[in-house]
């Protein structure tokens, strides 16, 4: 097992720089998830850790050893790819054993290792099958098995669940998490799915345009997003962001939004963005009040079983709010939405950084 230290990591494709001086320390045994939209540099960074992309600047150290110039096979890592990359011309057992290609073990020892891994992953009955006879989830388990069998210092996962349907994805998520709890091996996991990031990670690294925007535990990111992008990216459904104006009043401010101005204990810039998660923005009962109250009319109702969300045309645009699951307001009806001051996230409208 080993930690990973990334310092001032740079990647360029021709004249285009795609990773801009990343700094990150991953602890031994930590489960770190890189999350961000397509093209944010998360997979490129993972591939640089794996040794599949050359590094144009900075260093990557695995277990205290700088690996910039080492081949992938010399880094003691194992990688699981998005499309599984299990070889169609080999059986499950051969695929898993392929992870031991360079291991100095005899045939019987390799076979034993393969059987142990197959046992852990529930693949024992499938060892002689070809990949074409497996389901998507089974194939993904074979790919994980091939990575596991080597007992690597670091596991790298490159969007491994993207090709699975929603149900299987949730199941595999659980299996990967349990696997980490059992093995305690360092895992770097790349995904564009914030649900995967939230459920799996010890720490999430939010990336955009080749830069790290924020690093932290899932709930820390959820509760204290550093900027608008992270606020909208982390959490489902997406956070509502409403533009507002603030007026300064001797060390405090007054936020001009909703039915009544909202007193704020800190000095704010004139133009701010107010964020409120749909779970914190509720449809108010008749006569009920809240720190922030916005009025509007219901455009769409989305019942989800335990809760119902309503899209409301209101001041600041289309807002998503939670409504009683049993008796949601009808489409077209006028509603008042309310949120507590403590549930609001304020951002500078210019820099989009949290205030």
79 is an interface residue for other proteins by CB under 8 A: yes
Token pair of 25 as six digits: 């320390």
C-beta closer to other proteins: residue 72 or 237: 72
CB of 298 to other proteins, least distance (A): 46
C-beta closer to other proteins: residue 163 or 199: 163
24, 33, 93, 99: which one binds other proteins (CB under 8 A): 99
85 is an interface residue for other proteins by CB under 8 A: yes
C-beta closer to other proteins: residue 81 or 116: 81
List binders of other proteins among 223-282 (CB under 8 A). none
CB of 173 to other proteins, least distance (A): 21
What string marks each residue from 181 to 220 as x (binds other proteins by CB under 8 A) or -? ----------------------------------------
Q: Do residues 234 and 221 make contact, with C-beta atoms less than 8 angstroms apart?
A: yes
18 is an interface residue for other proteins by CB under 8 A: no
C-beta closer to other proteins: residue 52 or 168: 52
96 is an interface residue for other proteins by CB under 8 A: no
Q: Do residues 76 and 62 make contact, with C-beta atoms less than 8 angstroms apart?
A: yes
Beta pairing partners, 354: 347
Q: How far apart are CA 44 and CA 46, in angstroms?
A: 5
**At a CB cut-off of 8 Å and minimum separation 6, what does 148 contact?**
78, 99, 117, 120, 121, 179, 183
User: Reduced to 3 states, what is the DSSP secondary structure of residue 70?
Assistant: coil
Q: Which stretch binds other proteins (CB under 8 A): 62-70, 97-105, 107-115, 191-199?
A: 97-105
Q: Do residues 343 and 280 make contact, with C-beta atoms less than 8 angstroms apart?
A: yes
326 is an interface residue for other proteins by CB under 8 A: no
89 is an interface residue for other proteins by CB under 8 A: yes
**At a CB cut-off of 8 Å and minimum separation 6, what does 167 contact?**
none
As a residue count, the chain comes to 355
Q: Do residues 301 and 310 make contact, with C-beta atoms less than 8 angstroms apart?
A: yes
Interface with other proteins (CB under 8 A), residue total: 23
Beta-sheet pairing, 211-216 with 203-208:
antiparallel
C-beta closer to other proteins: residue 189 or 264: 189
C-beta closer to other proteins: residue 77 or 161: 77
CB of 143 to other proteins, least distance (A): 8
73 is an interface residue for other proteins by CB under 8 A: yes
C-beta closer to other proteins: residue 54 or 119: 54
Beta-sheet pairing, 186-191 with 16-26:
unpaired
Short-list 353, 172, 346, 182, CA closest to 265: 346
Beta-sheet pairing, 271-276 with 282-283:
unpaired
50 is an interface residue for other proteins by CB under 8 A: yes
Q: How far is CA 170 from CA 86, 161, 164, 185, 204, in A?
A: 21, 9, 9, 21, 18
C-beta closer to other proteins: residue 18 or 52: 52
C-beta closer to other proteins: residue 150 or 173: 150
Q: Do residues 322 and 309 make contact, with C-beta atoms less than 8 angstroms apart?
A: yes
145 is an interface residue for other proteins by CB under 8 A: no
Q: How far apart are CA 35 and CA 160, in angstroms?
A: 13
25, 27, 83, 260: which one binds other proteins (CB under 8 A): 83
Instruction: List interacting residues with other proteins (CB under 8 A).
Output: 50-52, 71-73, 77-79, 81-85, 87-89, 98-99, 101-102, 146, 150
């Amino acid at each position: 097992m080993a930690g990973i230290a990334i310092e001032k990591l740079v990647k360029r494709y021709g004249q285009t720089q795609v990773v801009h001086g990343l700094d990150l320390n991953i602890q031994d045994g930590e489960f770190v998830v890189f999350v961000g939209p397509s093209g944010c540099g998360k997979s490129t960074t993972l591939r640089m850790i794996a040794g599949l992309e050359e590094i144009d600047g900075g260093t990557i150290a695995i277990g205290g050893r700088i690996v910039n110039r080492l081949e992938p096979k010399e880094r003691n890592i194992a990688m699981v790819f998005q499309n599984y990359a299990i070889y169609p011309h080999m059986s499950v057992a051969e695929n898993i054993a392929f992870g031991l290609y360079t291991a100095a073990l005899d045939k019987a020892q390799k076979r034993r290792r393969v059987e142990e891994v197959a046992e852990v992953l529930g693949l024992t009955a499938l060892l002689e099958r070809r990949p074409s006879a497996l389901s998507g989830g089974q194939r993904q388990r074979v790919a994980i098995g091939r990575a596991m069998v080597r007992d690597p210092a670091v596991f790298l996962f490159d969007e491994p669940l993207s090709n699975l349907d929603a149900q299987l994805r949730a199941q595999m998520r659980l299996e990967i998490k349990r696997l980490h709890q059992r093995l305690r091996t360092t895992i770097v996991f790349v995904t564009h799915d914030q649900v995967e990031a939230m459920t799996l990670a010890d720490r999430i690294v939010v990336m955009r345009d080749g830069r790290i925007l924020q690093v932290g535990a899932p709930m820390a990111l959820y509760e204290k997003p550093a900027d608008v992008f992270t606020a909208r990216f982390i959490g489902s459904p997406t956070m509502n962001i409403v533009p507002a104006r603030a007026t300064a009043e001797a060390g405090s401010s007054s936020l001009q939004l909703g039915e009544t101005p909202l007193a704020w204990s800190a000095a704010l810039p004139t133009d701010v963005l107010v964020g409120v998660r749909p779970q914190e923005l509720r449809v108010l009962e008749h006569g009920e009040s809240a720190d922030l109250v916005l009025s509007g009319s219901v455009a769409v109702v989305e019942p989800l079983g335990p809760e119902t969300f309503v899209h409301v045309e209101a001041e600041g645009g289309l807002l998503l709010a939670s409504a009683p699951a049993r008796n949601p307001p009808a489409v077209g009806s006028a509603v008042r939405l309310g949120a507590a001051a403590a549930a609001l996230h304020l951002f500078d409208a210019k820099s989009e950084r949290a205030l």
